[in-house]
Amino acid sequence: MSIRLFYGMWPQYDRRLREIIGSMTDADLAIRPSPAGWPIWATVGHTAGTRVYWLCTVLGEQGAESTPFAASADGWEDDLEHPRSAAELVTALQTTWSIIDHCLDHWTPAVLEERVERKYGDQRQVHTRASVIQRLFSHDAYHCGELSQTLGIAGLPQIDLWRPN
């Protein structure tokens, strides 16, 4: 049995995020929640890049090479002088979603118990696959909420994760 059942709404959340981001102009994507906050495009880039970091770099899953993040250890959000377009962001979300999609289909409840050690600075941390997939699910939802608030304040359509199809 795969773990897809436990994350049944996640594909819809990803699709709704892509729909909103895909409809945005460069000016919309440059909106910041505050003067010190990241522009929308950077938050979306961070969201997509985090998927690759945890699943491919930390857990060793395949698929990073098919994403825009394959050639760089730094995330897109780290270079605020290089804004990303809606098309680039949608591609980043689609290609990184493919990695998650594969995990949802192929990981089993037993696989979730596997532990992986990660070196972070001078610390060593142990994570389970369960903790990583839960982290990514909540990370996506957290940033969708953050983006929705920024979009709403700017008078733009928000990301409605739960809208019926």
Block mean pLDDT (10 aa), the chain, length 165: 96 97 98 96 96 94 92 73 96 98 98 94 95 98 97 95 84
| Residue type at 20 in one-letter notation | I
Tokens at residue 39, please? 């522009």
Q: Cβ(30)–Cβ(23) under 8 Å?
A: no
What pLDDT score was predicted for residue 79?
A: 86
Q: Is 165 helix (H, G, I), strand (E, B) or coil?
A: coil
pLDDT for 104: 98
CATH of 4-153, one of 1.25.10.10, 3.20.20.60, 1.20.120.450, 3.30.450.20: 1.20.120.450
pTM: 0.94
